[in-house]
Chain A
Amino acid sequence: MRHLLSIEDLDRGSIERIVAQAERFAEVSDREIKKVPALRGRMVLNLFYEASTRTRSSFELAAKRLSADVVNFAASGSSVEKGESLKDTVLTLSAHKPDAIVLRTPWAGASELVAGWCSAAIVNAGDGKHEHPTQALLDVYTLHQRLGKIDGASIWIVGDVAHSRVARSNILAFRRMGASVTVAGPPTLIPRGIESLGCDVRYTLEELASADIVYALRMQRERMSEPWVPSLREYASWYQINGRRLRPGQVLMHPGPVNRGVELSGEVVDSPQAVITAQVEAGVVVRMAVLYELLAGGGGADARALRAAPEPVRMSGDAVSGSRAA
């Protein structure tokens, strides 16, 4: 794998490989020393053209746990505000020879463009309303941890599909993993032609009980240039996932940040059916796995990847158990 631009580029085997790798890194996260030297001396550049706290810090943490050097570049307060083009910014930052660039932009296809301009491995951390592949991978990982398998599961993605890159990546990833996907939301927020991605479309939540997994999307008010629903009140009354609508046994997911009282009621966010914090936790290990796959050639973690860093002081013995004892 050279870049991670879109879930479309991944087959089921690649997704499973990343999930398995993330599981190995999860063990590392449970240790006292959470750092391994797998990417020591490598440089990861976080290039963010949109405000982001969780995705950026999750990538930063992932890179640091792999001992890579991390440089954060936020477009606000930078040369971008002085009118520098995306291409020039990328060329300039490439002079520092990053091994990977984690890119978030408000523009579909930007990561593919950037991949053509420099030699670094590109990780798409969200390109406009197009894709957010690491979110989909961490969601697959989370479900894998919770349910064991996704094959045959019925997953409902509820809410603002039109403005959601998460929806697009997740429809593709869940389908690849053998789930059936239904998208549901107000007709103004379900894009015409979305069923071509292999999902069903519903405009009400009447059949929500048939779902094994309910994936609520954020109402992305910041991305909306005009009113798409009459009011958030009416939206909530028809589409909010709340205690009345969520059936026992269903798993509840959300990519965050949650608008409590809009797409989710407070009681379901706090219920044990919600795996929202597990998703955040999964973000770090899955991103570790992605960076490792891209920069260390994949093929499964070798001993070096899982060895603790800094190198254990002990002169002999198994490095992994050594770090555990430290």
Chain B
Amino acid sequence: MRQVDPLVCAPRQASTLLVREVRVLDPRAHIDGAHDVLIRDGFIAEIAPAGTLPERDDQETITGRGGLCVMPAFFDPHVHLRTPGQEHKEDLDSGTRAAAAGGFAGVIAMPNTDPVLDSAPLLRSLRDSAAREARVPVGFLPAVTRGLQGEQLTEMAELRQEGALGFTDDGRPVQSAGMLRKALQYQRLCGGVISLHEEDRTLSRGGSMHEGVVSASLGITGIPTIAESTMVARDAAIAGYEDARVHFQHLSCAASVPAIEHAKSAGWRVSCEVSPHHLLLTDEEVRSMDTRMKMYPPLAGEPDRLALIDGLRSGTIDCIATDHAPHARDEKEVPFEQAPMGTTGLETSFAALHTGLVLTGVLDLGVLVHRLTEGAALFGLEPAMIATGRQADLVLVDLDESWVAGEHGWESRSENCCFAGRTLQGRVLLTVAAGGVAHRDPSLTPAETP
């Protein structure tokens, strides 16, 4: 029933660019080796053995050194761009700049804005804005229920015609099983993935962090992992019964992983994501009561973190999503229990995961790239690929370069990043999105004007 391209971005000049003698890594294209890649007019024109494509005066050439690596650009199915209504935290321009700086050539924005994205006119106007402001293509997931109130379905069919990729009440669970069932039944008419924030609020109520020894010693009310895992199990069963397509957002605990395994082995159409912070950090980080470590779902225990890594490696967890959740400095500069939930993630996700999982030998770089790009496929879009004839959606990374996160500020309007101040290895130097340069690191020698 889809009528329009679900992804929109501002027009950008199509790139012509030769990247010579670099490692090219794309698990989908089964490439990992030294190559030359020629981009012409926004498309990948040629992939040739390293050093074989000639430099020409009428095109920019970047020549490989050290750890340079070309990979398909990443896709993030879960970001908060805060527009409309909370532009002091982020807007379409700053949010997509942050995405481009992190190597993303596509993001999906959540509807918990003010007003809530729950009607076709609002979606149209947001897409119009994105067509002027977005540096990388943006897709939208409007709300499942009006105003995220959990009481009445949005006009899902009309929203789909206007380009909705799917639906979510993210930030809140669809608490009523009956309401979720109706949405999943209605999906047969309109399609679109239903993306679920899983939280039983009768279990999580009043909590600000993971329930465990750290919450006990801090005297902060804990959120038990069963608040998530019981809802994952419940909703997977409902999806299975209705043969519906659901996506589970930001898995955070070990107990949710077998629920997904069970659903997949039963043939139910489920997928799920995990966020970098849940793969790299635990509730021990909260001991300092640093509000950048406050997010929903909360950072859990070390066994949870290890189970999530195993799930990501095995493919039980399909993809990585940052849940980029910007908040203004003064909103986060309050006591922990008062602070809003969320961390930014777009600008640090690759570097943090490369540093924390790949360089430590826990995860293969190819698997990481696959999981950072798979989000597109889950929402019915073609994942980026380094292949002749494909539109250029690629990222050039220096895998050797170390940098301190946030040292030189952020592209995002907000600075509430849980990795701020950490030394990360792996830096995005260039992002080509939808055929045009969306991000270029200042260190990269600028194009010599022909």
Give A contacts to B, CB under 8 Å: 85-87, 105-110, 112-113, 127-131, 164-165, 168, 191-194, 196-197, 225-226
Q: Evaluate contact between B334 and A168: CB separation under 8 angstroms.
A: no
Give the A-B pair count, Cβ closer than 8 A.
Answer: 75
Q: With contacts A191-B215, A193-B213 known, is A108 near B220, CB below 8 A? A: yes
In the bound complex, CA of A106 to CA of B330 (Å): 19
A225-B335 contact given A108-B220, A193-B213, A197-B217, CB 8 Å threshold: no
Instruction: Known A113-B335, A128-B337, A192-B212; judge A108-B218 contact (CB<8 A).
Output: yes
How near does chain A come to B444, taking the closest CB pair, in angstroms?
Answer: 38
Please name the residue on chain B nearest to A129 by beta carbon.
B219
> Contact at B217–A196, with CB atoms within 8 Å?
yes
B222 within 8 A of A: yes
B90 interfacial contact with A, CB 8 Å: no
Can you show 21 pairs from A to B with CB atoms below 8 A apart? A86-B335, A87-B333, A105-B335, A107-B335, A108-B220, A108-B337, A109-B336, A113-B334, A127-B335, A164-B219, A191-B211, A191-B216, A192-B212, A192-B222, A193-B212, A193-B214, A193-B216, A193-B217, A194-B217, A196-B216, A196-B217
A109 touching B218 by the CB < 8 A rule?
yes
Q: Are A168 and B330 in contact (CB under 8 A)?
A: no
The count of residues in chain B whose C-beta lies closer than 8 Å to any C-beta of chain A is 23
Residue in A106, A113, A128, A197 whose CB lies within 8 Å of B216: A197
B446 located at the interface, meaning its Cβ lies under 8 Å from any Cβ of chain A in the complex: no
Cα A105 to Cα B333 with chains together (Å): 15
- B206 interfacial contact with A, CB 8 Å: yes
Minimal beta-carbon separation of B398 from chain A (angstroms): 35
User: Do A128 and B211 have beta carbons less than 8 Å apart?
Assistant: no
Q: Which 7 A-B pairs have the closest CB atoms?
A: A107-B335, A109-B289, A129-B219, A193-B216, A196-B213, A193-B213, A130-B219
A109 contact set on B, CB distance < 8 A = 218, 289, 335-336
Contact of A85 among B211, B217, B221, B334 (CB under 8 A): B334
Does B338 sit at the interface, judged by CB under 8 A?
Answer: yes
* A87 close to B334 (CB less than 8 A): yes
With beta carbons under 8 angstroms apart, the residue of A112, A129, A192, A226 that contacts B220 is A129
Q: A86-B334, A107-B336, A128-B337 are in contact. Are A193 and B219 (CB under 8 A)?
A: no
Contact B206 A128 (CB under 8 A): no
Residues of A within 8 A of B333 (CB): 85, 87, 113
Residue of B nearest to A225 (CB): B206
Tell me which residues across on chain A come within 8 A of B215, comparing CB atoms: 191, 193
- Report B's interface with A, CB cutoff 8 A: 205-206, 211-222, 224, 289, 330, 333-338
Residues from chain A with a CB closer than 8 A to the CB of B211 are 191-193
CB-defined contacts of B220 to chain A, threshold 8 Å: 108, 128-130
Question: What's the least CB distance linking A282 to chain B, in Å?
Answer: 23
Pairwise interchain contact A108-B212, C-beta atoms closer than 8 A? no
A298 to chain B, nearest CB (A): 26
Smallest Cβ distance from B210 to chain A, in angstroms? 10
**How far apart sit A283 and B337, CA to CA, in the bound complex (Å)?**
28
> Distance in Å from the Cβ of B335 to the closest Cβ of chain A?
3
Could you tell me the distance between the alpha carbons of A109 and B220 in the complex, rounded to whole angstroms? 10
A194 and B337 in contact, given A109-B289, A112-B289, A225-B206 (Cβ under 8 angstroms): no
Closest-by-CB residue of B relative to A116 is B333
- CB neighbours (8 Å) of B336 from chain A are 107-109
Cα A130 to Cα B220 in complex, Å, equals 7
Task: Specify the chain B residue showing the minimal Cβ separation from A191.
Answer: B216
Q: For residue B338, which residues in chain A have a CB less than 8 angstroms away from its CB?
A: 107
CA distance A97 to B10 in the complex (A): 53
**Residues of chain B with a CB closer than 8 A to A112's CB:** 289
Given A85-B330, A86-B334: A108 touches B206 (CB 8 Å cut-off):
no
Contact (A131, B219) CB under 8 Å given A108-B336, A192-B211, A193-B211: yes
Q: Return chain B residues, CB-CB under 8 Å to A110.
A: 335
> How far is A265 from B222 in the complex, measured between Cα atoms in Å?
32
Contact B217 A168 (CB under 8 A): yes
**Identity of the chain A residue whose Cβ is nearest the Cβ of B217 in the assembled complex:** A197
Q: Which of A165, A168, A191, A225 contacts B222 (CB 8 A)?
A: A191
Complex-state Cα separation, A166 to B206, whole angstroms:
20
Q: Known contacts A85-B330, A108-B289, A112-B289: does B335 contact A194 (CB below 8 Å)?
A: no
Contacts of B221 in A (CB 8 A): 129
Most buried by A among B214, B224, B289: B289
Q: In the assembly, what is the distance between CA of A197 and CA of B219, in Å?
A: 12
For B210, the closest partner residue in chain A by CB is A193
In whole angstroms, what is the CA distance A17 to B247 when docked? 59
Q: In the bound complex, what is the Cα–Cα distance between A164 and B215 (angstroms)?
A: 13
Cα-based distance from A130 to B336 in the complex (angstroms)? 11
CB distance from B323 to the nearest CB of A (A): 23
Contacts of B219 in A (CB 8 A): 108, 128-131, 164-165, 168
From B218, B220, B330, B335, name the one whose CB has the most chain A CB atoms within 10 angstroms: B335
Which of A85, A105, A108, A110 gathers most chain B CB within 10 Å?
A: A108
List of B residues within 8 angstroms of A113 by Cβ: 289, 333-335
Across the two chains, which residue of chain B brings its CB closest to A88?
B330
Q: How far is the CB of A3 from chain B (nearest CB, A)?
A: 15
Nearest CB of chain A from residue B24's CB, rounded to whole Å: 47
Contact partners of B330 in chain A: CB under 8 A:
85, 87
Measured CA separation A196–B338 after assembly (Å)? 25
Question: Closest CB of chain A to B431's CB: distance in Å?
Answer: 36
Could you list 11 further interchain pairs (A-B, Cβ under 8 angstroms) beyond the known A109-B218, A192-B222? A85-B333, A86-B334, A108-B289, A110-B335, A112-B289, A113-B289, A113-B334, A191-B216, A192-B211, A193-B215, A193-B222
CB distance from A302 to the nearest CB of B (A): 36
Q: Please give me the residue from chain B that is nearest to A161 by CB atom.
A: B216
Please measure, in the bound complex, the distance between the C-alpha atom of A192 and the C-alpha atom of B219, giving whole angstroms. Answer: 11
**A194–B224 alpha-carbon span in the complex (Å):** 15
Nearest to A131 among chain B residues (CB) is: B219
**Could you tell me the distance in whole angstroms from the C-beta of A122 to the nearest C-beta in chain B?**
13
A210 to B150, CA, bound (A): 53
The chain B residue with its CB closest to the CB of A171 is: B217
**Could you tell me the distance between the alpha carbons of A225 and B217 in the complex, rounded to whole angstroms?**
20
Which of A106, A168, A191 neighbours the largest number of chain B CB atoms within 10 Å of its CB?
Answer: A191
User: Which of A85, A107, A168, A194 counts the most B-chain CB atoms under 10 A from its CB?
Assistant: A107
Most buried by A among B217, B219, B221, B330: B219
Least CB distance from B429 to A in Å reads 36
